[in-house]
Structures are given as structure tokens and as C-alpha cells.
Amino acid sequence: MVLTGRTPTRRRLAAAVTALTCAIAVAAAGCTRDDGFRPGAADTGDPYVPGSGNGGYDVTHYGLDVSYDPASDRLTGRATITATATQDLSRFNLDLAGLAVSRVTVGDARAEHRRVDGELVVTPHDGLPRGRPFTVAVDYAGVPTAVTDGELGSGGFLHTADGAVALGQPDSAATWFPVNDHPSDKASYDLAVTVPDGLSALSNGVPGPKSSVDGWTTWRWSERTPMASYLTTLVIGDYRVVSGSHAGRPMVTAVAASLPATGGAARALARTGEIVDFLASRFGPYPFDSYGGIVVTDDRIGYALETQSRPVYGPDFFADDRPNVGVVAHELAHQWFGDSVSLSRWGDIWLNEGFASYAEWLWEEHDGGRTAQRNFELQYAATDWSQPSVEPGRERMFGTAVYKRGALTVHALRRTVGDDTFFRILRTWTAERAGGNATTSDFVALAERVANRQLRPLFDAWLVGGAAPTLP
Ligand SMILES: [Zn+2]
């Protein structure tokens, strides 16, 4: 993610209250059974996103079939979720914000369901034994909601002038489908989205066949590589869509039709393939089956987000018609750092943003601008060392210490171990952890193994030390 510098608003404690309410509901429902089956947790315990994510199961696939009518702002959906119980499970939660649920089945049987704020609580007819795969289907409908009090301004499902944009970090997916909404539970996705003829409906992954019936067109998208829920997006509206291929894989870019056909946004997106290839030369093979990018014009999107295989860029990056390729390099670098190798917990977000910020320096140097070393020197001089990169606190999870101090740490590692070892560390990380999740400790351990030397003190000083570290 890259912010455009607006003042973020603070999220209220509503989610924390939700979690507490759920805990009370668990007790009141008397769900402790003497057969060892028990409810899954209503939360993952990640303090950065209280209430988001759930326990007791692991999702492997989301099959989403939704239709959206911009005229009424009404969304109708069926989510078919394939998961495996990770405990003997009497009951489990999905995250779902707003929207009315009409029917839930688990396997072939109807399941009881109720809502507790942002949670959909599902009680299957029979308990789900640990290790058993199961399928839950949820029929739902309603007017989706925005997340207007997010750290980043507006996110969630936004009704726009010509359609809608569903987008946002750290959570947004629950505003348009029931989900285990935490990056620690990644899954593959198939999406069919039906919109009025003439509108585009863009999402992640490989495009499938389109079909039209009675004035409505169904667009299909498939992301086979595991994806964190906050990396999903749905963009509906009047877009200039360019469908091609790059390195043998589909490349789909889309720019809002109200923007100039050869303007800064279009010119920046047109360099996507070139930038991806440069980053692949440094980080290892591109991790997904498709490429692309989407530029939206709704000015509530005051950021760009690395939605998997197809980042979404807010309009401010291309103000004055500038072809801002720095932000493109940043979001594309996230395809390796954040999307393919994802966080286990949000307190480690520098693993996403530090590397993506460093990739901006690499790209700038490659593109004939300032060297990474020069950017490092300038940033070093400007850094407030009292703010840590790891566990930055919820209000600073998109702060300078995460982005810029994170990038300084990456370059300090490079200076310490040398270019060959440094890039071998990065490529080993992206290869060994592809499609999975990881922590800061995992990265430090891998760097030490590849470099065959102790590096923990270096990381401690550069990531969290309270004073300016000695230059390597
Ligand atoms: Zn970022």
C-alpha cells in the first residue's frame, strides 16, 4: 500500500466490542459440549484487527457468485467456501459486515445461523471433526457498506458514480462476502460477478469467459495461488480495459474511462510488464498466473493497494497527468512481499512495506534516477529512531517507521552481507515462502542461514533500536 499523504482517521473500538459481545454470546449459548467438540474462536487474537478472522478451521477455496446493480446499490451473493476443521468443531464464525443472510448450508444440510455484529455464526447440524474438509454455502444480499473509519480513509465496499470499488487494508473483504478475514488464512478464489451490460467488473487473477443474458453480463475471474482476503478487490464501472499477455500469462489493465486514453495513469500502467520483469530479475520469478492494474477515479481512494496480481491505484498518484511509476514499482514489489509471502500477523507489516519501499529505490536507480545508496543516505538522516518498524502500534501500521525505516533495514542488510548474498537471501525467501505466511523471526533466521552468519543484532538495531545505528 502507498498512501497519498492525507490525514488518516482513527478506527473506533467497535471491533473490540464485537469480539467481547461474541465471547459473551458463546457463554450464553452454552455451547460447550461434553463430546469434545467446541466452538471455533471468533477472532485470531491479532491486536491490530480485533474481531477480524476466526479460529477452528482453515479455508482452502472461495467460490463467489455475486451480482451488483449500481442503480439500487444492491448486491446479491452466494459464497461457497471449502475449508478444513482444525479442531473438533461444534460451531464456527465467518466475518460479514452488514448484508442479510437468508440461508446457510454445511455439506448438504441446512445449518443454523445468526448474526453478532460483524460475525456470521454458523452451527452445523453435526459437529465437524478435526481434519475433515467441509463446504459451507451462504446466500446473502443487501446494500454493502463502506469502512469509513479505517486508518486509511475510505475502504470496504464503496458505491461510486458509475459502479463500485471494494478495496482496503487491513480489512475490506467482509463488506462483500463472508470470509475468514485475516491474512493468516489464505485461499484460492473463483469469482463470477454479474453487472448491467456495458459496465466492466474487474477482479484478481486470470479472466474467464464472459456471458450475457437479458441485459446483464457475467465476468469471471480465477486466482489459483493462495490469496489473503484483504488482497481481493472488485471494481465495477466504466473502464477502458486492455486485455493482452505478458511472458505467456494474461495481462489485464483497466483505467477509468473518464481519464485520458494516453494520460499519466495509462502511461504508468503500460509499464507494468517492464517493471515486473525488472523486479523478477532481483526477487525471483513472478509468483502469479496473471498481471495487471486498475486505476480508479473515486477520490475517497486516497491510496494504492497491492491487490493480488492486479493492484488498484487511487487517482491522486496521477494528478497533473504524471506517469507515476514509483507507485507502480511499489505495488508490484508487493506481489512478492506481502501477496506471495504474506504476514502471519499485522505487527510484522514492515515485511511488506519495507521491501516494497526498498523496491522503489531499486527501480528509481534502474530507471536512471537516484541510486538506492543515495536514497538510503537521505532517509537515514531524516529518520526518527524512536519509532520501531516491528510492532509499530495500530495507529502507525502505515507510518514512516514501517515503510522508510523498513527500507533502511533492507539496505543495511545489503551493505552488511554484500550484493550476492543479499539477493540470494531475497530469492531464497520468495521461493521457500511462496504462497505462505511468515514472521520477522522467520526472515531473520533465513537471512542468517543463507549468509551463514549472525544477523539478529543488525536487525534489532535497524528495526527497533532507539538510536541511529552505526552505518554498515
Ligand atoms: Zn505498500
- Classify 58 as helix, strand or coil: strand
- For the whole model, what pTM was predicted? 0.93
Residue 314 sits at φ, ψ, to 5 deg, of: -75, 165
Is the distance from CB of 278 to CB of 365 less than 8 angstroms? no
- Residue 257 CA to ligand 1 centre (angstroms): 26
- Residue 296 CA to ligand 1 centre (angstroms): 17
Q: Residues for the chain: how many in total? A: 472
- Residue 341 CA to ligand 1 centre (angstroms): 14
| C-alpha–C-alpha distance, residues 85 and 104, integer Å | 17
| C-alpha–C-alpha distance, residues 237 and 201, integer Å | 7
Predicted confidence pLDDT, tens digits, the chain (472 residues): 887 754 333 333 333 433 344 344 444 444 455 678 999 999 999 999 999 999 999 999 999 999 999 999 999 999 999 999 999 999 999 999 999 999 999 999 999 999 999 999 999 999 999 999 999 999 999 999 998 765 556 789 999 999 999 999 998 999 999 999 999 999 999 999 999 999 999 999 999 999 999 999 999 999 999 999 999 999 999 999 999 999 999 999 999 999 999 999 999 999 999 999 999 999 999 999 999 999 999 999 999 999 999 999 999 999 888 889 999 999 999 999 999 999 999 999 999 999 999 999 999 999 999 999 999 999 999 999 999 999 999 999 999 999 999 999 999 999 999 999 999 999 999 999 999 999 999 999 999 999 999 999 999 999 999 999 999 9
Is the distance from CB of 207 to CB of 252 less than 8 angstroms? yes
- Residue 353 CA to ligand 1 centre (angstroms): 5
Cell 457463554 -> residue: 27
Nearest Cα neighbor of 57 from 115, 21, 106, 104 is 106
Establish whether the linkage from the previous residue to 170 is cis, with ω within 30° of 0.
Answer: yes
- Return the pLDDT at 154: 76
Strands (E), 206-317: 206-207, 211-213, 216-227, 234-237, 239-246, 249-256, 291-295, 303-305, 312-313
| C-alpha–C-alpha distance, residues 195 and 333, integer Å | 31
Is the distance from CB of 208 to CB of 193 less than 8 angstroms? no
For 334-357, the DSSP string reads: TTTBTTTBEESSGGGTHHHHHHHH
- Residue 351 CA to ligand 1 centre (angstroms): 10
For 228-244, the DSSP string reads: -GGG--EEEESEEEEEE
Please list all protein residues whose beta carbon sits less than 5 angstroms from ligand 1, which is an ion. 1, 353, 356
Nearest Cα neighbor of 84 from 59, 114, 49, 112 is 59
- Residue 349 CA to ligand 1 centre (angstroms): 9
- Residue 310 CA to ligand 1 centre (angstroms): 14
- Residue 108 buriedness (CB in 10 A; 0-12 / 13-18 / 19+): exposed
- Residue 287 CA to ligand 1 centre (angstroms): 17
| Beta-strand pair 74-85/133-142 | antiparallel
